Structure 1
Amino acid sequence: MADLSTPTNDAQSEQTAESLITMTAKDGGNVDHAGAIIDHIDIWTTAIEQKSSAGRGSSNKFSLYGIKKLRELILELAVRGKLVPQASREARNSANYEPASVLLERIAAEKAQLVKEGKLKKQKPLPEIREDEKSFELPVGWEWVRLQDIIQISSGKNLTSKTMIHDGGVPVYGGNGIAGYHDTYNVSSSTLVIGRVGFYCGSVHITPDFAWVTDNAFITRFNEASLFIEFLYWLFKATDLSKNDSATAQPVISGSKVYPIVVAIPPTEEQHRIVAKVDELMSLCDALEAQTEASISAHQTLVETLLNALLLPQATANTASQCNVSLEPSFTNSFVKDWQRVAEHFDTLFTTAASIDTLKQTILQLAVMGKLVKQNPNDEPAAKLLERIAKEKVQQIKEGKIKKQKPLPAITDEEKPFELPQGWEWVRFGTLFKSFSNGLYKPAKFYTDDGVISLRMYNIQSGMIDFRGAKRVEVEPNELAQFLLEPNDLLINRVNSKELVGKTAIIPITEEPLVYESMNMRAKPFSEYLSAKYLNLFMMTGIVQESISTFAKEAIGQASINQGQVSSIKTPLPPLEEQNRIVAKVDELMTLCDQLKARLSDAQTTQLHLTDAIVEQVV
C-alpha cells in the first residue's frame, strides 16, 4: 500500500520547485528577504483558506492562501526595491547610469512638448508628495511620483457583444481581460489596460500589438523609453488602483481617482531586472500552486477510494465475526479489512474539510445500508411495520383524516441499488407518510414583525432548522390550520439551486406556531411507527441526492422537485429499534466529525495568521 502521508505522485517535482524558489530568492541579493521565502515554504503551501460553499456541506472549495500571500510578498518586495540588488556604487558613478530622477525629468519634458503641440491637454498640478504619503524608505536612485506625472489614461471605445465579429482574430479587452473577438482594432501596439468599472475595477492587463479596448477599461499611455510596460504592469498589480473608487453600487475609477496615487519608480535598467525576477518567481509560484492542488486532489481521491470500498457489495456474510471499532462494521471479513485500512491511517486521511465531509457522507451511506450498527434478530422486522402503516393509512382515509393516495409502483429487483440486511425492506418514500403539502405563498406586504414564523428554504441547514434570519408572516386562522408545522414533520426544500434542492430538516418542538413558505413542502410521517430522524438522515445521503439530481427540473438557474418525485424515491427501511440505534450512532459520529472539523478550522486559522505575520515582518 502507498505511503498515505504523501498523497501525491509528484513529490520530486515539488522538491524541484522549492529548490528553484530557494535559488532564485537567494539570487535576489537580499538574504533576509530570501529567507522569508525559503524558510517558510511549508507555510506558503499549507496555508489554505476554506471558501464558503452553497453545496450540501461540501468543502471542496478552497483557496491557496499561503501561495496567494507569497505572490503578494514578491510584488511588495519588488516595488520597494528589495527583490533585486540595486546598482553598485561603481555602476552609479559610471557615465551610463541614469537614476529615476533623470527619467522623470525626461518624461516631464516630453509632456510639456505634447501640451505645447496641442496633443495633450494641460493638467492641473497636483500637490507635492507629503512625507506621510511615502510608505517606505526609497533605495538609492529611486524617486516618489504621482501617477499623473508618468501616465495618461483614456477610456476605450464601446463595443457590445452583439456588434463583435466573434470569428475575427482581434482580441477585445474589457475590465477582466479578453471579453471576445472582433475584426478590427483601436490599439496597434502592446497596451497597458486598466479595468475602470464594475467588479474588475482596477484590474490590469497587457494587450498584444493589435487589440480592441472597450469603454469598460482605460488605455494607458506613457513614455516607453523611460518606463518598461511590464514593470508598470507589476507595479499596478501591487498598487490598489481601485482604493479611491466611487462609493456607488457600481464601482468606478477615473483619472481624478487614479492620478493622485503615489508610487516609487526605479531606474529603467533596474525596472528590467525587477520584471525578470518577478516573472521568474511568479512562474515558480504557479508550479507550487499546481503541485499543491495536485497533492490535495490526490489526497481526496485516496480518501474517496478507501471509503468507497466500505460501500461495495460484500460477497459473503460472516455474522459470527464482529470487529470492535467505532463504526461497528459487520457481516464480512472484507468489510472489516477495509475499515481497518481506514482506521490505521485516520489521522493522515482526515486532514482537510473535504475529507471530513466525505467521511460524514460515508457514515450516512453506511447507516442506510445496515453497515453502521449491528442487527438484532429480536427486532420486529420492517415488514411488520409496513403492515401496521398500511392498516393505519386505511383507517385514517376511512375517518377522513387523510386523502387516498395513488398507489406507488412496486420496487423491482433491478431497481435495488444494494442488498439489505435481514429484517429490512425496500419501500417507496411516499409509503411512509400520511401526506405531502406545498407551502404557503403570501405577498411581501404580509411579512411583518407581528406574524408567525414562516420557514423558508434558507432555514433548512445541514438537516436541521436554523431559525437565524427567520421571517414572520401574517396569516388567517384557516391558513394557520392548513400550513401549521408539527414536531417530527419533515420539511423538504422543493425549489432551489440544483445543488441544494431536496435538502430536508425535522421540525423540532417549539413554543410558538410555525408555518412554511411555498418553496418548501411538508411531509407528515407515520411517526408512531417510524423514526423521523432516520428518514431525515436518509434524505441527506448520496443515493438520494443522486436521485433528486436526475429528476429535478431546471429552469432559469433554479431546480424544482414535486411531491410525486419525492414519493417515488427508493428507501431502505430497517426495523424501528434499529432505526433508533442508527440515529444515535450517526449523531455520535457526526459530533466527532464536527469536533475534528473545528480543530482543523482552528489550525487553518492559525496558519493564515502565521502567513500574514510573516509578510508583515518582512515588509
Structure 2
Amino acid sequence: MKATELRQSILQAAVQGKLVPQNPKDEPACELLGRIQKEKAHLIKERKIKKMPPLPEIAENEMPFEIPENWCWVRLGQLTELITSGSRDWAKYYAPTGDIFLRMGNLSRGKFDLRLDKIQHVKLPKDIEGMRTSVQAGDLLFSITGEIGTLGLIPDNFGTAYINQHTAMIRFVTYEKNKFYPYLLLSDYAQKFYNGNQHGIKNSFRLDTIALLPVPLPPLEEQHRIISKVDELFALCDELEAEEEKLDALEAHFTEYLPKAILQAAVQGKLVPPNPHDEPASELLKRIQQEKAQLVKEGKLKKEKPLPPISEDEIPYDLPEGWMWCRLGEITNVIMGQSPKGDSVSACKDGIEFHQGKTLFTDKYLALSTQKTNAPTKIAVANSVLLSVRAPVGAVNIIERDICIGRGLCGFNTFCFMKPHFLFYFLKSMERSFIEQATGTTFIAVTGEVVKKQLFPLPPLEEQQCIIAKVDELMTLCDELKVAYTIPVVPSSHNNIIPFPATQKEEETLLVARGDVGQLSNEAMQAFNDLFAEDEE
C-alpha cells in the first residue's frame, strides 16, 4: 500500500472512532454540541454572526458507518459561525504588493497546507467592504468550483488576506477551531459526499451543501487525541512517501541501473567466489611483463617509459585476495589512433578496413565498415578492445579482425592469453570516469597518458574467465527483464483502504516486490536469486 492510500486509511479510521481508544471520562459529544449551540446563540444575540436557516435532521441512510457510543452525528453547519464564498471582480485591484488574495491555486489536494509559492496581492480602496471575506486564524478554505474539496487552513499570525469567489471559507466556533475537521474533510468519506453533490457543467458546490455534510462528532478531548495520532502517523507517511519517490526513481531506471551494478560487482571481485588455487594476479602480471619485454626485444613492440607507481591515495576500493592494482599501460599495448591521409580512404579502394570513431559501435562487437585504406597508420589487431577517446568519449567495443583506427579511437591489445572481454566490461564500467577526465573546448578528448595511467583491477586469469561467463549470463537476463518491464501490469480493482480494527493488533508486515516478473524464465529467476543470495545471509 502506498503512502497516499495509507493516509486515507488513517483518516477513515479517525472519523469512525477506530484510531484511538475512547475514554469513558470524556465529556460526551452531545454535551459538547449543547455548549456549541449556546455559544452560537450568544453570538447571534450580540449580532456577531447571522442566524442560519435550520438544518434538517440526519436520516438513517445518511449515516454510512457506526460511531462510538459517546460520539454523535451532526451537520457541519451546526459547528460553524460562518460559511461564505469570496469576493468577485477583484482583479481590478491586483497589485505587486498589498494584502494577500487567496485563490484556488493556493489550496492543496490531499493536505490542508496553504501553497504560497504563487501569491496574488490586492490594494483595496477605502470604501470597499471586505470584512466578510477577510480570513482569520483557524478558518478553513474550501474550493467550490472545478476541483471540489481542495483545502487550506489559515495559520496563526497570517496577516490580512481575502479569498476569491471560487473559494469558500468555513469558520468554526471557538471550541472546534482545531485540525479534526480539516482532517475529516480530507477523508474518503467526505470526498464521496462532494462527488455526490456537485452541480452544473463546471462542477460547482453550493455553500448550503457544505453545511449539510453529516459529521461524526467526537468528544473534544478525543478530538485532540485523534489529531495528535494523525499528526504522528502522517509524519511517518511523509517519510514513506519520500522513500517511495526514491524507489519510483530507481524503478523507472531499473533496467538501466542493473547492468551497471553487475559490471561494478564484476570489476570489484564481488560477482563470483574466488578460488584459492588460482594463480594470483601478481604472477600473471610478471608473465605479462616478460611477454612484453620479449616483444620489445624482437622489435615487435616499442619500449615505453615506465609508468608511475600506484599510491594509496589513488586506490578507489579494496580488492579480493589474489587480485592486484596495476595500470592499463602495464597489462596492455595501448594504441592511440591516427587517421591516414584522406585520399587513401574510400569505399572503392582495396586495403584494410578503416574506422575513424565509434559510428559503427554496437552493444559489444564492432560492425563492418565499407571504408578502407591502402595507407594504414595505426592498426588494432583482432581481439582487441576499442575505446572512443574523442567526441564522444567512453564508448567501448571488441573487434574480431584487424582494422585501421583513426584519432577518435584507442585500441588495447592484451597479453598472456587474456581474453578481451574482462577488459571490455571494465572499460564499460569506467565510461563516466573517462568523460570526467576528458579535456578540450571545441570537443572533449582523452589523452594517451590518461588512458595508460588508468588504474586496472587485475584478477587471476582463471577468475577472469568465470567473471566473463557470469556477466554474459546476467546481461542476457537483463535483456529479458527489460522486455518484461515493457509489459503493462493490470491494476487491481479491489479497495485498498485498510479496515482498521477497533482494538490494537500486531500483524506481520510483508514486503512485496513491485512489477510483473511472470515473463522471466526459470533460469532468469534462479540466476537473480543466486546473485543476491549473499545479501540474505
Give the TM-score taking structure 2 as reference length: 0.46
Give the TM-score taking structure 1 as reference length: 0.41
Whose helix proportion is higher, 1 or 2?
Answer: 1
* Largest Rg, 1 or 2: 2
